[in-house]
Homo-oligomer: A and B are copies of this chain.
Amino acid sequence: MIEGQEVRRQAGRLRYAMAGGGAGAFIGDVHRKSIAMDGAAEIVAGCFSRSFQNTLSTGASLGIARDRLYASPEEMIRAEAGRPDRIDFVAVVTPNNSHYPISRLALENGFHVVCEKPMTTSGRDAEDLGRLAAAKDLFFCVAYAYSGYPMVKHVREMVSRGELGAIRFISAEYPQDWLATPLEKTGQKQAAWRADPDFAGISNCVGDIGSHIENVVSRITGFEIESLLARLDRFGAGRVLDDNASIMVNYKGGARGLFWSSQIAVGHDNGLRVRIYGSKASVEWLQECPNQLRISYVDKPTEMVSRGRDRLHPRAQAFSRLPSGHPEGYFECFANLYSTFLGALGKRNSGEPLSADDLDFPNAGDGIRGVRFIETCVKSSKNGAVWIDF
C-alpha cells in the first residue's frame, strides 16, 4: 500500500532540490513554504549551505532523506541526474554570484530551473543561460515574485485593455531602511553578502530591489526601455556598492518613468509602490497593502478596489485565494508564481499543449533584461549619471 501511494504521488507531485536556503537565509524558506502550501511539488534533495552541517540540520527538519543532502550544489546536481526518482527542477536561492554556475549545471543535466533574481551578475552570463535553456528546451523561471500578486495581474489587464488610456508617466519606488545603519558589519548574513561585490556583483540596491521595479513595470506595461539615466549613491560609510538609486527612464513610445530604490530610507520596510498615470485613469499599488488597488479617473471619483470583494479581470481573479478582507501576503504571491510554473511543468510532463497564460511566469527573458538594467544603471552612474541607450 505504501508503495502504491508513492507511485500515485509520483504521478501528481513534482520533485525538486534546492541550492541555498539554510539556517540564516531568508528567501529559501519562502520558496519552500509557498510550494508546500499548494502541494504540487515536494522537496526531496538539497544543498542548503556552504556548511554541510547546516545542510544536514536543515534537511532533517524538512524530512529529506539523508542520502539526498549534498555537500555542494555540483554534487547534488550530478547525483540527482543519475537517480531513477530524479528531481524535476532545481530552486537556486544562493547569493547572486553562484546563480550562474549552479543554474548552468542544472540546465546541462536536464533540470528545469527556478532562480532568484538577479539571474546572474553579468549580462553575458544571463544570455548564456537563456540560450542554453532554449537549446535544451527547459523552463527557466526567475523569481520576480511580485508579479504573482492578483492586483499586479489586474493592473496588467487594465493596461492591455486600454482602461488607463495612453500611459504617460510611471512613478515607482522601492524604499527599505534595513541598511540605514552598517548592518553588514555586524555579521548579519543577509546584509553581509549583499554589500560584498564578490557575492552580490556590481550592485547592491539596484540589483536587489531596483530590478524588481524594472520587472514589475515591464510585466505590467510591456513597455521597452529606450534609454535611462541613473544616479547611484553610497551613503553608508565604507560601502563599495550602491545603497540608494534615482533612475529616469524613457520608454519607447513616449512614456516616461521615474524610479527610486533605497536601502537607507529610514521608516520604510519593503515599500514597493507602483503608480501608473494614463490619459484616462491611473492606478496606485503598494506591495505592503497588496490586496487593495487605488484607481483614479479623469472624470469620476477615485475607487478603492478590494481583492475578493470587487471583481477583478479573470486572469487576476484566478489567483485570488481568499474571500474579501482575509489578507493575502508575500507567501501567497510566491505561491502564485509557483502554481503557474508548476502548472506549466505538469502540463508539459503530461504532454498537454501550453497557452500563453500557462507560461505567464518571469522567464529567462525577464532575467536577461533585469541584468542588463542593472548593468546600464551602473554604467550611467559611473559616467556621471548620463543618459545611456538601453
Instruction: List A residues at the B interface (Cβ < 8 Å).
Output: 1-6, 8-9, 12-13, 26, 30, 33, 36-39, 62-63, 65, 168-169, 171, 173, 176-178, 180-181, 229, 231, 233, 235, 244, 246, 248, 256, 258, 260, 262, 264-271, 275, 277-282, 284, 287-291, 294-298, 300-306, 308-310, 321-332, 384-387
Contacts and interface: CB of A to CB of B under 8 A. Distances in A.
Contact of A279 (B62, B180, B321): B180
B304 A304 contact: yes
A177 B331 contact: no
Q: How many monomers of this protein are in the complex?
A: 4
A297 B264 CA distance: 11
B296 A177 contact: yes
A325 B176 contact: yes
A343 B226 CA distance: 54
Contacts of A1: 65
Contact of A8 (B12, B26, B63): B63
Contacts of A169: 233, 235, 244, 262, 264-265
Contacts of A178: 323-324
A244 B304 CA distance: 24
18 contacts: A2-B2, A36-B36, A39-B62, A168-B235, A169-B264, A176-B325, A178-B324, A180-B298, A248-B248, A262-B277, A266-B297, A269-B308, A269-B324, A301-B303, A302-B303, A326-B329, A328-B331, A329-B332
Given A256-B231, A296-B177, A266 B290 contact: no
Contact of A322 (B63, B297, B330): B330
Contact of A387 (B233, B282, B329, B384): B384
A116 B383 CA distance: 40
Nearest to A38: B33
